[in-house]
């Protein structure tokens, strides 16, 4: 009798049938999407930081650090 209750509770956790190729677990889909999004932003940030380290003044316009010409 103890075995019947253990096997029936284990069967309830499993899906009724095998998932077809088009069926996707919604929670897994959201988790993978946000993981991909996080990795994408990490990659973009790493590339941007590498560009800033390589050429720190390249992204600043020249008018911000040149002296203004004074006309009398």
Give 47: exposed, middle or buried? Use CB within 10 Å, 0-12, 13-18, 19+: exposed
Predicted local distance difference test score (pLDDT) of residue 31? 94
pLDDT band at 46 (very low <50, low <70, confident <90, very high): very high
Count of C-beta atoms within a 10 Å radius of residue 23: 10
pLDDT in tens, 11-43: 566 656 666 667 768 999 999 999 999 999 999
- What per-residue confidence (pLDDT) applies to 28? 92
Two structure tokens written together for 52: 């800033």
pLDDT for 12 equals 61
Element (H, E) at 37: helix 26-54
Residue 5 CA to residue 18 CA, distance in Å, equals 23
| Confidence class for position 4, pLDDT limits 50, 70, 90 | low
């Amino acid at each position: 009798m103890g075995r019947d209750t253990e096997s029936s509770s284990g069967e309830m956790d499993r899906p009724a049938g095998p998932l077809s190729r088009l069926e996707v677990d919604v929670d897994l889909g959201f988790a993978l999407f946000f993981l991909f999004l996080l990795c994408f932003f990490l990659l973009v940030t790493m590339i941007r930081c590498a560009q800033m380290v390589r050429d720190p003044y390249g992204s600043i316009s020249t008018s911000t650090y040149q002296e203004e010409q004074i006309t009398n």
